[in-house]
Structure 1
Amino acid sequence: MKDSVIRTLALAALVVLPTLTVVAVADDVRSFEQTVLPFFETHCFDCHDQNTQEGDFRLDNLQLDFHAIHTAERWDEVIGRINSGEMPPPDQSRPSAAEIEQVVDWIGRKIKEGEHSRMSQRSSVAFYRLSREEYSHSIFDLLGVHYDTAAPGRMTADPEWKGFERIGSLLSLSPSHVEKYLVAAREILDIAYPQTLANSRTWKKDAIDIDWPNRGRRVVFQEQGIEDQVRTLIWPGHRMSYVEPAHGGYVMPPGIYRAKLRLSGLPSKEGRPPHVAIYCQQLDRMIFEQDVIAPELQPVTLEFETYLEGKITMSVTNEVPGPSNSGRAGRPSGQHVFTTLDHPLSRAPWQRKMTDEDGNALYPFLIFDSIEWEGPIVDETSLAKQTRFLPPDERAIDDVRESLSRFASLAWRRPAKPDEIDRYLSVVNSELQAGTSPRDAFKMGMLGILASQNFYYLREGVPGQHRETLTSWELASRLSHFLWSSMPDAELIAAAEQGSLHEPATLKSQLRRMLADPKIDRFCDSFPRQWLQLAKVGMFPPDEKLYPDYDPWLEKSMVLESTLFFAEVFRRNLSIREFLHSDWTMVNPRLATHYELPPPGDAGFQRVMLNKQSHRGGLLTQASVLSLTSDGTRHRPVHRGIWVSEVIFGRTPNPPPANIDAIEPNPVDQPRATIRMKLAAHTVHAQCAACHRKIDPLGFAFDNYDAVGRWRTEEFVQHGQGKHPTVDASGELPNGQTFDGPDQFKQLLLNHSNQFALAFVEKLATYALRRPMTIDDREAIHAIVIASQKEGFRLQNILEHFVLSDLFLKR
């Protein structure tokens, strides 16, 4: 066995290595035979050779080519399993501390020796295509144009890797992308520089306008003297049209429109508030929605802004479950028209009741008064962004060249070279010779600059030059796209031009300025959404029969709780330990109902304090995380365990073996059994037990939460006989630590904050550097964590240590 293993390892190494390294490999084989092989033979090969391969992990065929990153990472995994006590298993003979130290030291040294070779294998230049989100933000910051890349027919969704949508190796470029970039550039420039400027207009629609049975009765209401008293009652689930600014055939000039919506909102007796939602058919999404809490006679005015263009149709809905007011039993009809709840003409005696004897609303009602639109809004800031690029004299070639150069330098995030500008200047000249107007000819030059790969690709490095450090321009771009998902601003560009951005004092000053800028809201939304994989929320819509209270607003509120929770930790510069457990969270009335918390006083999201009975606190017990790891009908402990392993511990478990049967529904003639009981059947198989032993406890900790994140003490089992079984949320971690329930589990996590900090910094680096981290980044990540630990792992401090680190400053 010994000779066979040595020959296999040596041969595998020699096959892949150049001749000059053969001697080094021979030395590695000899040292391996003396140091590591005896350890493997005694403690490892019984479970991890060609015959057993427990956990789909073999040691007998590991190569000694530490210059290859995939090999080095496999050896690094061996170190991790030995150091954690996971290998050898607790029921096997244990090696001494000296034996472990000797083996781990040998593997660690070999990994380190191969680092320079692995680093030199990186390409001399790296290209990173802008994500949809970054493209949209860059266009706005450059030209003041709101361009919705996610609108139907525009740009396709970005591929993701473990939640991240900006991984460079995945954001490839196809011919369809090039075509869409060209179309987008034309649309954007036409919006920024229209043939004629649109005048801002104001439209107002009252309750009579949107209520089609009453639209023809305005004269009657005028004669009755009640025209200004008519209001429209919107029952739960009912949709009403005609809330767009003008009729559907009117072409809205592109721009930002401001809306003022006046209405009342009456919660039901149970406390559920009504929810106003305005849907735009052309955009295929809600452009505004909010819970509404306002007494009948004290309506509120809600303001919002949205981008509109072209022919627009909209509808307004009370997006809560309940009886629609369709039909004679609901909406006022005949001689009746709604004015107030107690007015005799508002309802017929035989129609469905709206209130109880004490005047409390039986359902969450909206009472609509009016919607007023204004636009397109003349935004002086956006106008200044656009006019700054226009040449003083559009017929003077020197002015045109200077303007094109200025535009290209900002759009490309680096100084444009004269020969590059010459190409676009020739386009302008060709258009002028063809009789095109000077303004349109100049736009053609701008079009070429926007449709160039220099705009939609971030580039780091120069072909043929192997350098480790970023230039000032590359650093400015990396920093702005990390924090703002967009191009550098004027101050950052000035620092790059002066060459001072690499100086720690300058970099720290710029960082703190950027963290205080309103554009940091983009980071506070984008990073947690990708880090926590929140795009998966709602991927498996919950079964309506099992979860009748689940609705789209609850789903959106779940995601908003997590992103706003992250933003609150950032804004107050709290410790990232708050992500593991906290005595507060962010809720709106919808989530408060879902969590069975006291209703907040306002309709929006608020920071609320939690008590122990709420069973909440931190990210792990938020409904977003608990639902994204479920399948719509039941919770999935294994998937919850995998999520915790990846997000909290930074470890991705091995994929399951092939041909493993899924967990079947409970038979109707058998006693009801929890999913945990059924999972026990998987762990009796050796090929499953190794992984389930590590993953399952991480998911069992949250068995008290159902598929949509509600607390429970019994697990509802749809089929079977007998009582619903009691939840068992206890478990034992691979290191022997035990817990009983989510609170104790979160306390164990708090006791190992360093491990979470390592995983958090790794995810932060993946987002910022647009690539997965490797073992060659491990040392830098550790250094950031150690520096941050002294300051209590405060979020903004972690960001500062990261940006000032070699990991961020080098390619």
Structure 2
Amino acid sequence: MQSVFIHPVDHRVSRLLFVRLPRALKFVQRGLLACVAALIVCFVGGSVLVADELASELKFREQLVPLLRTYCYDCHGAEDGEGGVSLEADDTALKIVKGREHWMRALAQVRLGTMPPADSDVMDPSSRTRMVELIDELANAIDCVRNPNAGKITLRRLNRAEYRNTIRDLVGVDYSPADDFPGDDVGYGFDNIGDVLSLPPLLMEKYLDAAESIMGEAIYTPPPPELFELERSPITLIGADKYNGKNHLAMSSNGTVTLQFDAPFSGTYTVVFSLSGDQGGDEPVRAEVTAGRRTIPVEVKESEPTEKKVAFRLGKGTRQIDLSFLNDYYVKDQIDRNLHVHHVKVSGVEQRSQFVSSPDLPTTHRVLLFETAGNDGEFDRAAKAVLGRFASRAYRRPIGKSELGRLVELATQVRDNGGSFEESMQVAMQAVLVSPYFLFRVERPREAGDDGVMPQVNQYELATRISYFLWSSMPDDELLRMAHRGQLRDRRMLLEKVGRMIKSPKASRFVDNFASQWLQLRNLEIVQPDTRIYRGFDDEVRDAMRVETLMFFSEVMRNNLPVTELLNADFTYMNEALARFYGVNDVRGNEFRKVSLSGTPRGGLLTHASVLTVTSNPTRTSPVKRGKWILDNLLNTPPPPAPPNIPELEKGKLVGSLRERMEQHRSNPACAACHNMMDPLGFALENFDAVGRWRTRDGRDVIDASGLMPDGTSFDGINGLRELLTTQRSEQFVRCLAEKMLIYALGRGTEYYDKCALDKITADVRSHDYKFAYLIAAIIESDPFQKQGYREP
């Protein structure tokens, strides 16, 4: 942000110039800028006042100060400002910029009509409009030409919806984390805001479990090999007929005993003999074990039972293993060398191919493992190809050589421990799915250039921003190819791609995630209208309400209609259940279809039962909630929080119709401050009951749906409100929608310096007849979306 002066000016000089020289400033207004500029140079020792900054100071002194003096300074003077707010103390445009926080609160009050208070001088509508414009312009003064700040986006973790979509697009597995992962926090109305998406230890554990489950489903690996075990103790061996009292075989002369068994499969069989020897002569007991054509010598030096292990490859069928005692030695009454066999155990492991070759492999397996290794010599080549593609798509950028090397090394370790190629890929891909480069949308930190200009994000980072904005998921191959070729900043190619993206089935994710949160449709799941009063409302109707609004929003988006159609379209989507609930005829079946609303009071979002239900109480409508919803979501002028200790609207103390009770409630000056703005908007919707059905009476009371705003604007009913929003307030609505969508696209709240981007976005959309696709394209082309800025203190 540029300050008013290039070099600081002593406050005494500033006051001399702008308080004691009012006539000089009038000369400036009349075109004598050069004279005053020369005078300023004399006072400040060579400092130069930039022309537009001088204009801001003139605008403050000559246009805003008279309004403030008339309507504000009596209560918010230089020393004793009510509520701790002293507006008169900020006596230059520079001080307004520095005191932006309390000036923005003042702006909200003026815009809502809550200031000046009812017991002060009445502010005429034109003065109110002018004060709003001046405070907004001066408090948010920023040089939109000389490198405005693009804003800092906090490193963003994938939220639950983004994680599910990304896994589906990357792996091909629909893994739902809703029941396992903790819920995502919400900031600025959305659950994809970087500042609130933390990574608690519990979630990291869930990611590990999810990665194992996902890759286990995506890649087929054969079941564990079949095992065989045969144990003999005491042993019964063919040719063995001499047992001593200790239940073991004693071989006192050279000979052979044979173990026979049925091998259930071909594989490796391990035989464990428990042997001991009576030692004598000049050598230990020697024996040998034979299976088929292979013989393995065994030396028994021990006099206590000791395990001796041998292994053979055996085929399926009846097999025999021979144990032979080789070096019997005997001297009568002196030496007797013998072999003792105490125990025999045979175990086998089925021999299977290291590589899977099944015609019934899942599609995910074939897509992910597009290369296989026919033998160990091909392992590295296949692993690099498979993991290189997988990790590059998962990380949304080309994987580095060293990164790929570590993944291949991990896969090799699995292979070396007996794992198959498929198991090796499973483990390495699990590592990818718990990497920060997958779980977070990582962007390389950047510094401003020598000229202070912030650089643009690279093409792959831009592709990621675009895809998560419109699809809540990773870039597709086409978007990554465009990034690789450097085409994403070619306006023609970008518009063509955006057009394809919003027509893709994946764009339904944008509708569900952005529109549901912007319009607060997710609250529809928890509202509980009193069905004793509002008969016909049930869960089927509740679901149909939500579908209607989402399909309507999708229609406006996919067909590139003007965004103002969201407020005044003469069509909607219904199925038979919702049409019957609305009282509309000739709609049959469960399928939703486009229905004309011509000749009915309905049209646009404000007449959707979903919106009307989430802004009502269980037993009655709420003009306050509905008015606040319009201010928040359609005009972006949220009212301030209600003062403490304000009583609820109670039937017992207030009498008459709902409108009359609300007017009695507003008689309290503390209540009137906010309700004068909210209530008129809400009353315009009173012809719709608490579940969105049309009515002309509330009980015995005839509905009065007229409204009068603090600025003098009047309207009557839904038609009058709709006309107000689409004519007098259409620009405000478009800017509100642009700001909500920019917040969602960036994953951060907007700041004062985003005014430049919002001005440009709104102007660009206006020049293209407010078409939806141009709003999306303007957001993508904006500086906050294209660049990486910094966080101001």
Matched to 2:196, the amino acid is L
Q: Does 1:573 align with 2:560?
A: yes
Does 1:731 pair with 2:718?
A: no
* Segment drifting more, 484-493 vs 188-197: 188-197
Aligned: 1:161 with 2:187: yes
Alignment check: 8 A CA contact 2:124 2:711 kept? no
Name which of structure 1's ranges 185-194 and 521-530 shifts more when overlaid on structure 2.
Answer: 521-530
Change (3 A) 1:406 1:680: same
Deviation at 1:411, TM superposition (A): 0.1
User: Which digits, 9 at most, give the CA deviation of each residue in 1:724-758, with x for residues without a partner?
Assistant: 32222111123211112111111111213212111
Deviation at residue 78 of structure 1 after TM alignment: 4.7
For 1:365, the equivalent position in structure 2 comes to none
Cα distance change of structure 1 residues 630 and 29 upon mapping to structure 2, 3 Å threshold: farther
Deviations, residues 448-478 of structure 1 (Å, cap 9, x unaligned) = 1110111111123416667342210111001
Count of residue pairs the alignment pairs up: 599
User: Would the aligned equivalents of 2:612 and 2:626 in 1 still touch at CA under 8 Å?
Assistant: yes
Correspondence for 1:755 = 732
- Quote the residue 1:146 is aligned against: 174
Q: Tell whether the 8 Å contact from 1:580 to 1:618 is kept in structure 2 after alignment.
A: yes
Mapped partners of 1:173, 1:515: distance in 2: 31
* Superposition deviation, residue 382 in structure 1: 4.4
- Structure with the larger RCO, 1 or 2 (CA within 8 Å, 6+ apart): 2
Matches within 5 A, 1:86-125: 88=116, 92=121, 108-109=137-138, 111-113=140-142, 123=152
Unaligned runs of 5+ in 1: 1-16, 198-376, 717-723
Question: Which residue does 2:781 correspond to in 1?
Answer: 804
Change (3 A) 1:65 1:102: closer
State the structure with more CA Rg: 2
Taking the aligned partners of 2:601 and 2:131, their CA distance within structure 1 comes to 45
Indicate the residue corresponding to 1:75 in structure 2. Answer: 103
Matched AA of 2:443: E
1:483 to 1:67, Cα distance in 2 relative to 1, 3 A: farther
The partner residue of 2:767 within 783, 790, 793 is 790
Paired letter, 2:499: R
1:474-522 CA distance string (max 9 Å, x none): 1100111111111111111111112222222332232223233232222
Query: 1:799, 1:677 → 2: CA distance?
Result: 44
Report Cα offsets for 1:316-342 as digits up to 9, x if no partner: xxxxxxxxxxxxxxxxxxxxxxxxxxx
User: Matched residues in 1 for 2:766 and 2:361: separation?
Assistant: 45
Residues 186 and 28 of structure 1: CA distance in aligned 2, closer, same or farther (over 3 Å)? farther
Cα distance in 1 for residues equivalent to 2:373 and 2:94:
57
* Distance (Å, rounded) in 2 between the aligned partners of 1:701 and 1:475: 43
Query: Residues 531 and 32 from structure 1, CA distance in 2 versus in 1: closer, same or farther, beyond 3 angstroms?
Result: farther
Does residue 609 (structure 1) correspond to residue 596 (structure 2)? The answer is: yes
Contact 2:167 2:175 in 1 (8 A): yes
Q: Among residues 185, 199, 205, which one is paired with 2:211 in the alignment?
A: 185
Structure 1 counterpart SS, 2:195 = coil
Whether 2:688 is the aligned partner of 1:705: answer yes
Aligned-partner residue type, residue 584 of structure 1:
F
* Aligned-partner Cα distance in 2 for 1:379–1:432: 21
**Segment drifting more, 26-35 vs 40-49:** 26-35
For structure 2, the residue ranges without an aligned partner over 5 or more in a row are 21-60, 224-358, 789-793
Task: Find the counterpart in structure 2 of residue 654 from structure 1.
Answer: 640
Aligned counterpart for 1:494 among listed residues 481, 486, 508:
481
Deviation at residue 632 of structure 1 after TM alignment? 1.5
Contact 1:158 1:165 in 2 (8 A): yes
Residue 208 of structure 1 is matched in structure 2 by none
Task: Assess if the C-alpha contact under 8 Å between 1:43 and 1:95 holds in 2.
Answer: no
For 1:99 and 1:732, the matched residues in 2 are separated by 15
Q: Does 1:418 align with 2:367?
A: no
The answer to whether the 8 Å contact 1:39/1:99 transfers is: no
User: CA 1:32/1:703 → structure 2, altered by over 3 Å: closer, same or farther?
Assistant: farther
Q: Is structure 2 residue 500 aligned with structure 1 residue 551?
A: no
**How far does the alpha carbon of each residue in 1:323-381 deviate from its partner, in whole angstroms, 9 at most, with x for none?**
xxxxxxxxxxxxxxxxxxxxxxxxxxxxxxxxxxxxxxxxxxxxxxxxxxxxxx98986
Distance in 2 (alpha carbons) for counterparts of 1:800 and 1:448: 36
Q: CA deviation at 1:566?
A: 0.7
Amino acid at match of 2:574: V
1:93 CA displacement: 6.2
Q: Per-residue deviation at 1:795?
A: 1.5
Residue 718 of structure 2 is matched in structure 1 by 742
CA RMSD of aligned residues (A): 3.7
Determine the C-alpha separation between the residues in 2 that align with 1:500 and 1:695. Answer: 47
For the 8 Å contact 1:732–1:738, the answer to whether it is kept is yes
Query: Residue 528 of structure 2 aligns with which residue?
Result: 541
User: Take 1:420 and 1:107, find their aligned partners in 2: how far apart are those partners?
Assistant: 50
Q: CA deviation at 1:622?
A: 0.6
- Assess if the C-alpha contact under 8 Å between 1:66 and 1:114 holds in 2: no
In structure 1, distance between residues paired with 2:13 and 2:125: 26
User: What is the CA-CA distance between 1:82 and the residue it aligns to?
Assistant: 6.1
In 2, Cα distance between equivalents of 1:640 and 1:399: 60
Task: Report sequence identity in percent.
Answer: 32
Amino acid in the other structure paired with 1:469 = Q
Residue 508 of structure 2 is aligned to residue 479 of structure 1 = no
State the Cα distance separating 1:86 from its structure 2 match.
7.3
- Among 439, 445, 452, the alignment partner of 1:462 is 445
Distance, in Å, in 2 between the alignment partners of 1:522 and 1:379 is: 30
CA deviation vs aligned residue, 1:604-634 (integer Å, no higher than 9, x gap): 111111244x321100011000010112122
For 1:451, the equivalent position in structure 2 comes to: 434
Distance 1:787 1:393 in 2: 60
Deviation of 1:32 (Å):
7.9
Whole-Å separation in 1 of the counterparts to 2:17 and 2:103: 15
State whether residues 683 and 704 of structure 2, in contact with CA within 8 Å, keep that contact through their aligned partners in structure 1: yes
Q: Which moved more, 1:686-695 or 1:432-441?
A: 432-441
C-alpha distance in 2 between matches for 1:649 and 1:750 = 11
Contact 1:587 1:607 in 2 (8 A): yes
Q: 1:30 to 1:584 in 2, by over 3 A?
A: farther
Aligned to 2:270: none
CA–CA distance in 2 between the matches of 1:711 and 1:32?
Answer: 59
Q: Provide the C-alpha distance between the structure 1 equivalents of 2:511 and 2:442, rounded to a whole number of angstroms.
A: 25
1:645 aligned onto 2:622: no
What's the CA shift for 1:637? Answer: 1.0
- Aligned counterparts of 1:180 and 1:522: Cα–Cα separation in 2: 23
CA contact (8 A) 1:579 1:619 kept: yes
Per-residue deviation at 1:97?
8.5
Question: What amino acid is the match of 1:158?
Answer: D
Distance 1:159 1:400 in 2: 39
| Post-superposition CA distance 1:7-35 (Å, at most 9, x none) | xxxxxxxxxx9xx9875777777778683
Query: 8 Å contact 1:413–1:477 — kept in the other structure?
Result: yes
Q: Structure 2 vs 1, CA of residues 32 and 522 (structure 1 numbering), >3 Å: closer, same or farther?
A: farther
Whether the 8 Å contact between 1:642 and 1:653 is mirrored in structure 2 is yes
Whether the 8 Å contact between 1:537 and 1:628 is mirrored in structure 2 is: yes
SS of residue paired to 1:731:
strand
Equivalent position amino acid for 1:528 in 2? A
How far apart are 1:81 and its partner, in Å? 6.4
* 1:120 to 1:616, Cα distance in 2 relative to 1, 3 A: closer
Partner residue of 2:298? none
Q: Deviations over 1:693-713 (max 9, x none)?
A: 111111111112221111222
Query: Structure 1's 384 and 397: CA in aligned 2 closer, same or farther, altered over 3 A?
Result: closer
- Code of the aligned partner of 2:436: Q
Evaluate the alpha carbon distance shift between residue 601 and residue 121 of structure 1 in structure 2; reply closer, same or farther with a 3 A threshold: closer
Within the candidate set 735, 748, 751, 1:774 is matched to: 751
Q: For 2:19 and 2:135, locate their aligned partners in 1 and report how far apart those are by CA, in whole Å.
A: 11
* Matched AA of 1:423: R
Distance (whole Å) between structure 2 residues aligned to residue 605 and residue 530 of structure 1: 22
Give runs of aligned pairs for residues 288-687 of structure 1, distance below 5 A.
382=364, 384-388=366-370, 396-462=379-445, 467-612=454-599, 614-666=600-652, 673-687=656-670
**Aligned counterpart in structure 2 of residue 42 of structure 1, from 57, 70, 76:** 70
Q: Matched residues in 2 for 1:546 and 1:772: separation?
A: 40
Pairwise mapping of residues 710-725 of structure 1 onto structure 2 (< 5 A)? 710-716=693-699, 724-725=700-701
1:96, distance to aligned residue in structure 2 (A) = 12
